[in-house]
Amino acid sequence: MEELKKLSLEERLKWVVENHTDIVFSSSFGQEDQAIAHAIFANDLPIEVFTLDTGRHFPETYEVMDKTKARYKKEFTTYFPDTAMVEELVKAKGFHSFYNSVEDRKECCFIRKIVPLRRALKGAKVWITGLRAEQSENRHDMPIWEWDEANQVYKFNPIIDWTFETLEEYLKENKVPQNSLHKKGFVSIGCGPCTRAIMEGEEPRAGRWYWEESKKECGLHAS
């Protein structure tokens, strides 16, 4: 897949469309995902776009969702957690069990993210993500194209080799809608209770599950 690295984002996405079927793209509406969404929507590519609504998003995240829909006049599917599973979790452990331990946090992520993701990926052959190698140490060696054994799908990471500067230039040049929290130091934006702005010198995902000493992953992207 070395030849893909010579292509632009648009060319990389057109390559996957020309060579594969049943392609989906998961967006959290962060900067990386907004760049890919722009390339998909602006070029009218036959790629299904979906998002996972955990029920704990920032208001600003919903705002950028609406701005994106208004800008491109395109639809995306929203997957929600299983109601019964969320109700049982809250009943047993309360609304903030994720602060108790890494295990409890991963349980919340499993219910609110992993289970809905499995539904979203059902029938898909290629899953496009907005992963970048710079985001964290455990994403540093991820390839542009890989087999995801857990989800039985090919995973395509079309901007894995982009720098943050490249990303910002692309977003600015194309006037892509962005979450207003990015201007307040929120580089990686997840659920409201689990995300803070990062401080100078911290890696991009340091604000995610900031109380933990962990790999800062929810389980969607196993390293």
Q: Which residues are catalytic?
A: 218
* Bridging pattern class, strands 145-148 and 153-156: antiparallel
Rounded (10°) angle between helices 59-72 and 31-42? 20
Within 10 angstroms of residue 147's Cβ, the number of other Cβ atoms is: 10
Within 10 angstroms of residue 11's Cβ, the number of other Cβ atoms is: 12
The count of C-alpha atoms lying within 13 angstroms of the C-alpha of 98, restricted to the half-sphere facing its C-beta, is: 23
Give the span between the Cα atoms of 74 and 92, in whole angstroms.
Answer: 39
Residues 6+ apart with CB under 8 A from 80: 53, 55, 116
Please report which residue ranges of 2-58 form alpha helices under DSSP H.
9-19, 31-42
Give the span between the Cα atoms of 38 and 34, in whole angstroms.
Answer: 6
Please report which residue ranges of 73-189 form alpha helices under DSSP H.
83-93, 102-109, 115-121, 164-173
Residues 6+ apart with CB under 8 A from 146: 154, 155, 157
